[in-house]
Structure 1
């Protein structure tokens, strides 16, 4: 049992912290970020490879934003709807009417999975808020804003101006906001992990790839350094994990994955939600 607990925290906390340390040493303490961005920058035209490609921007930024935005929106709607059916417990006639118009099953479904809807909605809000907090408290400028790449701002690392209590400067580039939007879908992984879904790891890998693509495409446009993507992933993961622990507990999250879907009833889910 003790070894299982240690392994659980090693995977969910130790590895992200190790990635954070590796990112700090490999990128923040070296010129690796600039080396990578220089590959996609034309010093003669002062333009990054995809900086002014509007189709590329739509395909990699504007349209992909709908995925986390719709997911978070649906989770919030479901969370609010989950409060309705219990309030109607003493109004059987109204419940019957809602069944007739086919809203009853929807309300019962949201009530059965109330905890999951609230977890996803809150996790999206916390992940977004955390990223915006660090953006406004580190004063880091994007590559296109730097003198090195034709801008006017001076480059510095996130830890040089970090202030936990006050907003600093006008830089708003660290960590990667677009990457964090993709990584925010990690909330779905923890829901799947709660129910021991056998494809949970596949879902996890898909979300990690999604967030990495979101972040990498902004590097091609000069709107982020590569390290910003790694930092966004670490922050969102740790925030989601902490919240998942609060909502579900270690025992549920560390249980072995089920080889097949386990049948559950709405009544049982309502009791455990």
Structure 2
């Protein structure tokens, strides 16, 4: 086989691989967005579902009156995404500590860190600096997109509308969308609580970077968590069901964009590897570290 033919085959393979990646990761979410729009936004299904949960005689959503349910599913549930974001920020900051300590091996601070056995977590933070920054930026971008859409559509929550005893008019998001300016005081679309769980999708892209064999299980778990978060708010009358679907789609697309900027398509598309996580170049994710005694001798 001649060199021109080999190049042609390689180009065809690369193009096919690229199309497959974007078809799955971009094409499927866009298709789902169109499906949600046609199925929910252009019909009354959202309101029909909420009508089933609303007690018209009492004028309330019964589950929304259970304070323990609110505490567990709304307040306590925030701990998971909030803690993940905070750990990512801390990890990004700590990733700069060990390189500074290594430059001053004889300093008392370095020796203190070694004796306290902090070298392993600090070296871990250094090795995964890019990942910590990615998660931080992905959280920020997805949260920013959700807040932008909330303020530029001004959709009120079901319990705030006249349909369910409120004072505000029910308006579809696409009829109220304003690209450059805030559309009003409503802040209900897409679902914010669901998006906080979906923001964990950033962890899936980290897992894909390292070709983790259980990355799809992680993806399924995060999507399930997002659906649970969103559904609990639907039961309380604070969201329509479609708000959860839209939150997942927006967060996925935002996280995908950030992942492509940080890692590139090629690294995200590598096949999963059985066994431990790896960098894709046969180097283990958790590399052997020098012992404290070795570092102490080196420092001396």
One fold, TM greater than 0.5?
Answer: yes
Match of 2:6 in 1: none
Matched residue SS, 1:63: helix
- Structure 1 residue 264: Cα displacement: 2.0
Corresponding residue for 2:32? 19
Q: Are residue 93 (structure 1) and residue 106 (structure 2) matched?
A: yes
Q: Distance in 2 between matches of 1:127 and 1:61?
A: 19
Which of 240, 255, 261 is the equivalent residue of 2:270?
Answer: 255
| Residue aligning to 1:227 | 242
Unaligned runs of 5+ in 1: 269-273
Task: Provide TM-score, normalisation by structure 1.
Answer: 0.95
Specify the alignment match of 2:230 in structure 1.
215
Pick from 23, 26, 42 the counterpart of residue 10 of structure 1: 23
Question: Which aligned segments of 4 or more residues in structure 1 are displaced greater than 3 angstroms?
Answer: 265-268
Deviations 1:227-259 (A, max 9, x none): 000000000000001111111111110000112
- Could you list the per-position Cα deviations for residues 118-138 of structure 1 after superposition, in whole angstroms to 9, with x for gaps in the alignment? 111111111111111111111
Alignment of 1:1-273 (within 5 A): 1=13, 2-94=15-107, 95-261=110-276, 262=278, 263-264=283-284
CA separation of 1:60 and 1:265: change in aligned 2, threshold 3 A: closer
Q: CA deviation at 1:266?
A: 6.4
Q: CA offset at residue 217 of structure 1?
A: 0.8
Q: Give the whole-Å Cα distance in 2 for the aligned partners of 1:257 and 1:42.
A: 49
Residue 32 and residue 266 in structure 1: after superposition, are their counterparts in 2 closer, same or farther (change >3 A)?
Answer: closer
**Structure 2, unaligned stretches of length 5 or more?**
1-12, 289-300
Larger mean Cα displacement after TM superposition, 114-123 or 82-91: 82-91
Give distance in 2, aligned partners of 1:66 and 1:51. 21
What is the TM-score normalised by the length of structure 2?
A: 0.86
RMSD: 1.6
| SS of residue in 2 equivalent to 1:51 | helix
How many residues are matched? 269
Task: Please identify, of 153-162 and 172-181, the stretch whose mean Cα deviation from structure 2 is larger.
Answer: 153-162
**Bigger radius of gyration:** 2
